[in-house]
Amino acid sequence: MDVKVFQFNGCNKCFNETVLLKQDAKYKVEFVSDPKNWKGEKVGISVITGYLLPNDLEHMERIKNNSNKVIAYGDCPATGGVFALANQKGHDVKPLATLIEGSNSVYGCLAEIEELKLAIDGRDVPILKSLCQVCSRKATCDYLEKINRQIEIEDSETCFNDLGFLCSGFIATECKEKCIDYNTPCRGCKPSIDRSGIRMLAMFGTLAGNIEIATEHSVKGATDKLGDDDDDLTNSLPDILGNFFRFTLPTSSLPKGRISSSGTLLEDVFIGRLIEEIPLITGLIGGAKSISFTLKFIKAYEEANQIEVSEQTKKYRNELLQLEKDLQDAIIKEDASKYKEITNKIRFIAGNMNLSNVFFGGFKSIIDPNDDFNNYKTHVFDVVDGTYKNGSIEYTINPAGIIKEIKINEELL
Amino acid sequence: MSDCEIPDEYVQERIQNVVVFMCNECGQGSANTAGVARMSYDAAIRIIRVQCTGQVGPIQIMEALDNGADAVACVGCCLGACHFFNGNVISMHRIKLMKKLFKELGYSDQFVNQYTSRAAEGETAVGDFEDIIDRLTTAILDKGTIKDGC
C-alpha cells in the first residue's frame, strides 16, 4: 500500500513515530518533510502530521486532489493540538477538517501507530473505554474543598479530582501514553466526545461547587448576583484555557483569542501557562529534542531556586539525554526497529513519549522496581517569581506561577 | 483598541438578543409576578425556562452565543433557597469559570452573568434584566463582546 507522510509545522513527534510503519512490509512508506515544495504525484494514502495554518490550504488541496484518502495523524492536524494554544494570542492554527473535507482523524498526542494502521487499512478503530474506566484510582465525585495545583505523591488510590488535582480523564479515552500511571493527571489529548474542553469545564464547575465564590448585592435586582471580583475559585485556577483546552482549542467552539501576540507562535503557546505544567507541555512539543528541551526548562528553575536534585535523578536524566541522541540518529537513518527499541527505553524512564514522569526535583513515579523511590522522588515546590535562563531559553514567571515572558532561540526537530 | 466613539444608537442596535435562562421556581416565578404587575423590561430579553439553573452549563451558554446571542444570563433562586439542592450555586461556579475563560481569551466578562430573584417580587427579575443590559452595554463600549465592532 502506497503511503506518503507529510509533515507540516510543529514538533515532528508524530512524523517521527510514523517511521514504525516501515516495520510492516505491506506499507510502501515515503516521508515528505517539506510538503510546500512537493511536486504532486498520485498517492494512495496521505498521512498529515503537524499543525496547520491557513496558508497551508493550497498544499492541502494539492495533497487531497492527488490522494485516495487523507488521514490527520495526531492532535495537531486533528483538533489543533497543543500548538493551537497560540490561538489565544490571535494565531490561527486550524484542524485539517476545517481546511479540506472528507479526512479521517487519529487522535492523541502522541497518536497511536496501531490506530493509524487501522485507518490506513480502512478498518474501524475499536470502541475505546473511557480513561476513568481503566484508571486504577477510585473516584467518589464528592464536592472539592480545595483545588491543588501540585500534590505530594503519596496517595495512589484516590481519583486526582477527588484530591483537588485537576484531571480531564472524564472526557478522555484509554490510551497508550497513559499519563495517569505516572502520577500525572490527564489533559484530554484523546477526547471521547466533541467540545471536550467545554464539557470538562462544566464538570469541573460542578465538582468545585463547595469552593467559595464572590457574590455581590445587585442594586437593581435587590438580590444577590455573581460578583466580578477574583475569588478562591478563579485564584486556584489561573490557567483555565491551558488546562481544559490544551489540545482542542480550535474545535472547542470558543471564539479566537484577542490577546496580543508577543513573539513567535511557539512562544505564544507558553505565555499564560503555569510553571508546574511546563514539563508536560515541553515534553509534548519538543519533537526529537523534547528531553533536552524539557530538562533545560527544569534545570533553569531548579538551579535558581536551589531545588535539590539527587545523584540518581541526574543519572536517569543523563541516560535520557543519551537516549535522545540515539533516537535522533535512528530517525535520520529511518531505522524503525532501532526507533522502537530506543523509545521503549525512553518510556521505561520517562513514562511515555510525553515525559510524564519527568518533573522538577526528580521523577513522579518509581522507574525500576529495585530502586528506592525516595532517592529520586519529586516533591511539591514553591512558586518563586523571577526570570530564569538556561542556554537558549529564558522565561519570566509572576508570583502566581504564570509565564509572562519567554524567549526560545531553538529550532525544534 | 481604536479611539473611535461609539454612539448610543449603535449600542442600542447591538443589543438584540439576550438569552436569559430562568429557573422554573424563583426565576420564572418572579418573571410571572412581573407580568401580573405589568412591569416592562427590555425587548431584547429572550427568556428560556429551565427546571433549574443547575441544568445550564458552558455548553448551553456557548451554543447560545454561537447562535447569535449578544449576552447570556442565568436567573435562579436566592442563595440557599434552591428548590432542588444547590443548582443555583453550581451554575454560579460554572459561569464564574466561563467569565474567567473569556477574560483569558481577551474578551469582556460582562456578557455572561448569573443572578437570583424572588418569586414574590417581580421587580427583582426586572432589576436583573436591567443589570444584564447595563453589563452588556459596558461590554460593547469596551469592544469586548464576541461580535465586537467599531
C-alpha cell at A3: 503511503
> Closest to B89 (Cβ–Cβ): which among A88, A209, A231?
A209
CB contact under 8 A, A226 and B98: no
CA distance B115 to B131: 9
Measured between beta carbons, which residues in chain A are less than 8 angstroms from residue B86?
A: 209
The CATH topology of domain A2-121 is Rossmann fold (3.40.50)
CB contact under 8 A, A224 and B146: no
Q: Which one, of A245, A157, A165, A243, lies nearest residue A208 by Cα? A: A165
CA distance A177 to A10: 20
Q: Where are the beta strands (DSSP E) in A276-321?
A: none
Pairs across A and B, CB distance < 8 A:
131
C-alpha cell at A139: 473516584
Please tell me whether residue B53 adopts helix, strand or coil conformation. Answer: helix
CB contact under 8 A, B106 and A259: yes
For residue A211, what is the nearest residue in chain B, using CA coordinates? Answer: B93
B4: pLDDT strictly greater than 80: no
Residue B7, domain member (yes or no): no
A311-332 vs A290-304: helix axis angle to the nearest 10?
150
Which residue range(s) make up the domain with B84? 14-141
Interface of A with B (CB under 8 A): 88, 195, 198-199, 201-202, 204-206, 208-209, 211, 213-215, 218-226, 228, 231, 233-234, 237, 239-241, 253-259, 272
C-alpha cell at A181: 500511571
| Residue B1 near chain A (CB below 8 Å) | no
CA distance A137 to B70: 42
CATH number at residue B44: 3.40.50.960
Task: Report the predicted TM-score, pTM, of the whole model to 2 decimal places.
Answer: 0.93
Q: Any residues with CB less than 8 A from the CB of A85 and at least 6 apart, and which?
A: A241, A242, A245, A246, A249, A268, A269, A273
User: How near does any CA of chain A get to the CA of B54, in Å?
Assistant: 9
> Closest to B78 (Cβ–Cβ): which among A199, A209, A224?
A224
CA distances from B16 to A63, A382, B72, B107, B147 (A): 44, 49, 12, 19, 12
CA distance B125 to B111: 17
Question: For chain B, what is the domain count?
Answer: 1
Q: Which one, of B13, B24, B79, lies nearest residue B47 by Cα? A: B24
Provide the residue-wise pLDDT of chain A in tens; the chain has 413 residues.
899 999 999 888 999 999 999 999 899 999 998 888 888 889 999 999 999 999 999 999 999 999 999 999 999 999 999 999 999 999 999 999 999 988 899 999 999 999 999 999 999 888 899 999 999 999 888 999 999 999 998 888 999 999 999 999 999 999 988 899 999 999 999 999 999 999 999 999 999 999 999 999 988 888 999 999 999 999 999 999 999 999 999 999 899 899 999 889 999 999 999 999 999 999 988 888 899 999 999 999 999 999 989 999 999 999 999 999 999 999 999 999 999 999 999 999 999 999 999 999 999 999 999 999 999 999 999 999 999 999 889 999 999 999 999 999 877 64
Residue B99, domain member (yes or no): yes
Residue B3, domain member (yes or no): no
Measured between beta carbons, which residues in chain B are less than 8 angstroms from residue A145?
A: none
Residue B107, domain member (yes or no): yes
Q: Cα torsion at A170, A176, A178, A182 (round to 10°)?
A: 170
Give the ipTM. 0.93
Q: Which pLDDT tens digit goes with each residue over A302-320?
A: 999 999 899 999 999 999 9
Residue B9, domain member (yes or no): no
Q: Any residues with CB less than 8 A from the CB of A236 and at least 6 apart, and which?
A: A146, A147, A149, A211
Domain boundaries, chain A: 2-121, 128-238, 274-413
